[in-house]
Amino acid sequence: MPKTYILDTNVLIQSPYSMLSFEDNDLVLPMVCLEELDRLKNDEGERGANARECIRFLETLRQKGNLITGVPLENGGTLRIEPNYVNIGLPDDFAQSKNDNRFLRVCKGLNEAGIPAILVTKDIVLRLKAQMMGLEAQDFTTEQSPELEKQYSGRADVFTSEENLSVFKKRGLALSDVYAVKNEKRVECAPILNQFFTIHSEINEKKTMLGRFDGSLIVPLAYQKKEPFGIRPRNAGQYFLQEALMADAEECPLVIVKGSAGTAKTFYSLAVGLEKVLNSDKKEYRKILVTRPNVQFDEDIGYLPGSEQEKIAPLMRPVIDNLEILVDRNEKERYKNEMELRGKVDELFARNVIAAEAMNFIRGRTITHIYLIIDEAQNLTPKQAKGVITRVGKGTKIVLLGDPQQIDHPLLDERTNGLSYAGEKMKNSPLCCQITMRADECERSALAFDAANRM
């Protein structure tokens, strides 16, 4: 028997074609949903674009039938607009005129009319309110990734014999040569394409080598001895990260990196970018392009005073901090002359070695021969992540960096953000390498390492 779902506007704004994700069930859009779409349609940025996309989709349905009585959807369900239940009573302490509560009215009204209805909303508070009223409410889960600890990490530990380990660098290892350990029992290794491995000796667990699964064998890392822009890896995670970043855009155009603060995600990505742009004879990339989503800023950038660079300068401070370390490796002398240090960084921007842009200005472009870093990618929606990745043109390498546990977007979480979504969707792609940095690989400072492990 088909179910009835009431869709909140925030579901449509995050995923404009979410109306096609409910199989053969019945969908209801309260009238307030149309009013909110109408209000948002002229907004700049992602919200406005998605609102307009939703409105266009509704217009195609309107041309097929009456949206008040219901129009069939291509997946077998129906969609209708509900103009009734505007005077349904709510608890006294609920704001009677608030738009969110109008969704509750429709949900309550339908249930009282004998139509069990489920409210689907990204708003946690609205789901709590629904529960208080005895109404069923759910998150929109179609674009939801597994729980964080179950998401693909891009790395694993395996064991092999001393004999196999001694010949690993010459011939690699077949899957039959290695095994994993789960619940203190040997299990077969079932690798993902481009997955990284720490290979332990079964006699001495601390004796290890590092490798990557190429589709048939676990092979040695190709760039293990490289020192991009003078930076040397300090732990296994950084060796894996270096391998993914150093691979050219034809071999690995997409790198997805998750990890907590201090694990050198941004620092190492910039180091490899500078090495590729300034020191590589191949001239793989024209420049480094850095951007990072910001929940409020991306929508309001057009209204802020100043040039684009002046507008986004506050968001780029973490990038500047890392560049200061990279352009002057002498820790004792680095900050003695702040003006000289800043001049070195400014020169990189002046020479167009590196540039910073707002996320909004990437939409609609085809980016070619660029080393593109998306920092704080956990604040992307799944649609934004898809939009950015599909902007990649010939010769471009895109690096998504972020920590799914540090999300600022009010409607995203560890399972619904664009970074986690991209990681799960691109798993097993021959064009993507992924690595999740571990908390014990924090290299920022002794305090940062200690806090990462304790907190």
Summarize pLDDT for 214-230 with one digit per residue, the tens.
999 999 999 999 999 99
Please report whether residue 228 resides in a domain.
Answer: no
- Domain membership of residue 212 as a residue range: 144-220
Average pLDDT in the chain: 90
Domain with 19 in it: what CATH number?
3.40.50.1010
Q: Which of 197-206, 227-236, 328-337, 421-430 has the lowest mean pLDDT?
A: 328-337
Percent of residues, the chain, with pLDDT higher than 90: 71
Domain with 368 in it: what CATH number?
3.40.50.300
Comparing 282 with 162, the larger pLDDT belongs to 162
Using the 3D structure, point to which of 93, 112, 138 is the last residue of a domain: 138
Is 60 exceeded by the pLDDT of residue 189? yes
Residue 239, phi then psi, degrees to nearest 5: -65, -45
Please report whether residue 230 resides in a domain.
Answer: no
Q: Could you give the CA distance from residue 366 to residue 97 in angstroms, rounded to a whole number?
A: 44
Categorize the per-residue pLDDT at 333 as very low, low, confident or very high, splitting at 50, 70 and 90.
Answer: low
Q: pLDDT tens digits for 392-418?
A: 899 999 999 999 999 988 888 899 999
Same domain, 246 and 386: yes
For range 419-431, the mean pLDDT: 97
Same domain, 212 and 196: yes
Domain with 182 in it: what CATH number?
2.30.130
Same domain, 176 and 29: no
Q: How high is the pLDDT of residue 350?
A: 92
Same domain, 293 and 380: yes
Same domain, 262 and 318: yes
Same domain, 95 and 213: no
Q: Record the tokens describing residue 276, joined without a space.
A: 């590729």
From residue 419, alpha-carbon distances to 107, 238, 350 in Å are 33, 19, 31
What's the first-to-final CA gap in the chain, in angstroms? 47
Please report whether residue 400 resides in a domain.
Answer: yes
Please report whether residue 226 resides in a domain.
Answer: no
Q: How high is the pLDDT of residue 330?
A: 66
Q: How high is the pLDDT of residue 307?
A: 55
Is 90 exceeded by the pLDDT of residue 46? no
Domain total for the chain? 3
